[in-house]
Structure 1
Amino acid sequence: MTRDHQRPVLQPGTAFDWVIGSDEPGAAHRLAQETSWALLDRVRSVADPDVVDRVVGLASGSGIDDIAELWAHEGTHSLAGVLWRLYLLRRVVAADPEGSAELFRRGAAAAATIDPVVAGAAEPVTPGSIAQLCDTILRGAFAGDMGGALDRAASYCRIMALGSADLADTRDAHDDAHASELTTRALRYSATAHELHAGARRWRDGTLA
């Protein structure tokens, strides 16, 4: 379910240079809203797999820096905020594919919920299958059911939180610093899971800004 929103206004590049970092109250927030909805509308209206692939591929290229500048400070009450979190999950996997796969395997083994089924990583879980999972979630957000994609991402984050906590327990007696880092990571994944679940609810009831 989408919300009623104003059609984004196309502006020249100089206007964007002015808005980013502007002191005008709400300018960056408005730009984040406009660009996120414009991108979503554009991809869905074209319905071209190549376009979807290019948008998903922003997470593994230099385009992620532009997205971060526009969307990284937005909360999950907004489309920009939830899309940024989906891109960030993919970026983390790109930065450490082996480590991400290990955390997912540990988390899935420890899970007592249906989260591994909802997340839907291909077996066996490998760095490649985790990257593919994050790409599939992003594709779902742009070309499928946004609410379902966000719920799937939330399940992924809960699994990664469990995996981080489990690995932290094994490292606790040998490497306090690493164990502490993993515990912090578990908390961040857990918080992101909650945010994405809330974003899915807002999408479905039409309150996502």
Structure 2
Amino acid sequence: MSFSARTHHKPAVMPPELLDREAPGSDPAHHSEAAHLTAHAIVHQGRSGVEPEVLDRLIKLADSDGLLELAELWSASSAVSLPGTLWRLYVLRRAVMNDAHRWSALFRAGMSVDDVTVVVAGVADPPGPTEVVEVTTAILTGAYTGDFAVALERAAAFCRLVAAGQAAHADSAEAHATQHARALTESSRRLASTASDLVASAEMWRRNQLE
């Protein structure tokens, strides 16, 4: 599954590995200016004390078929850029909304890895489907109403724990489902890479260098 616009047309289920794929196709330079302009405009609007209903619309930009438009604008952007970062936050929320049971199961499986990361992610305990949807919505809300870098670090922690859960499931499946275990391991690696990109973006934001 890729980040292409075609992929995101009314998807039924969006797996964790969706976050780590690159957008194929069109020349990134062709859309670069539009991607950066829209990303900066949306962040500026969201962080300028807008009315609650406007903020709600910003949070729900990727709901329904909105992800299609965002994919066309942002999916080819560098992971460590403002449009690339926003893309990952919106895809994360949409993916969790579409398969909350799977995401919550993976999150729970990864919780034993690092207590500090669990605290940073800030998911209510016990973390069920409702709780993981709520935290991804809270992350996006925090990106607009709170410390943007902290929101990115929270998203990164969430991704790291899901990646750890995938790795744990891969270990369990290795003896009887080798191909599935390999797929989980690769997806875990890529999602962990997404987490690292989010942390890098947070650091760039703090230096006023996230463009």
Please say whether Structure 1 and Structure 2 have the same fold, judged by a TM-score greater than 0.5: yes
Q: Say if 1:88 and 1:198 are closer, same or farther in 2 by CA, change over 3 A.
A: same
1:113 Cα deviation after fit: 4.4
Q: Equivalences for 1:35-50 in 2 at 5 Å? A: 35-50=38-53
1:203 counterpart letter in structure 2: W
Post-superposition Cα deviations, 1:67-117, rounded to whole Å, max 9, x if no partner, equal 1110011113321011101111112212211110000001012x2340000
1:185 counterpart letter in structure 2: S
Corresponding position of 1:147: 149
Q: Distance in 2 between matches of 1:76 and 1:48?
A: 30
Q: Is the 8 A contact 1:93 1:100 kept in 2?
A: yes
* Structure 2 residue 61 is the aligned partner of structure 1 residue 58: yes
CA RMSD of aligned residues (A): 1.7
Q: Equivalences for 1:162-173 in 2 at 5 Å? A: 162-173=164-175
* Structure 2 residue 201 is the aligned partner of structure 1 residue 193: no
Report which stretch shifted further, 84-93 or 43-52.
43-52
Corresponding position of 2:123: 121
Report which stretch shifted further, 176-185 or 120-129.
176-185
Corresponding position of 2:77: 74
1:26 Cα deviation after fit: 2.9
Corresponding position of 2:8: none
Q: Identity rate of aligned residues, in percent?
A: 41
1:65 Cα deviation after fit: 0.8
- Which secondary structure state, in structure 2, belongs to the residue aligned with residue 45 of structure 1? coil
Corresponding position of 1:8: none
Q: Is the 8 A contact 1:60 1:94 kept in 2?
A: no
Q: Is the 8 A contact 2:80 2:198 kept in 1?
A: no
Corresponding position of 2:140: 138
Corresponding position of 2:106: 103
Q: Distance in 2 between matches of 1:176 and 1:96?
A: 24
Q: Is the 8 A contact 1:147 1:203 kept in 2?
A: yes
Q: Distance in 2 between matches of 1:135 and 1:59?
A: 11
Unpaired runs of at least 5, structure 2: 1-24
1:41 Cα deviation after fit: 1.1
Number of residues of Structure 1 aligned to a counterpart in Structure 2: 187
1:201 Cα deviation after fit: 0.1
1:156 to 155, 158, 165: 158
Q: Equivalences for 1:77-92 in 2 at 5 Å? A: 77-92=80-95
Q: Is the 8 A contact 1:47 1:143 kept in 2?
A: no
- Which secondary structure state, in structure 2, belongs to the residue aligned with residue 114 of structure 1? helix
Corresponding position of 1:11: none
2:164 counterpart letter in structure 1: L
Q: Distance in 1 between matches of 2:199 and 2:57?
A: 26
1:101 counterpart letter in structure 2: S
Q: Is the 8 A contact 1:76 1:198 kept in 2?
A: no
Consecutive aligned runs of 4 or more in structure 1 exceeding 3 Å deviation: none
Q: Distance in 2 between matches of 1:76 and 1:22?
A: 16
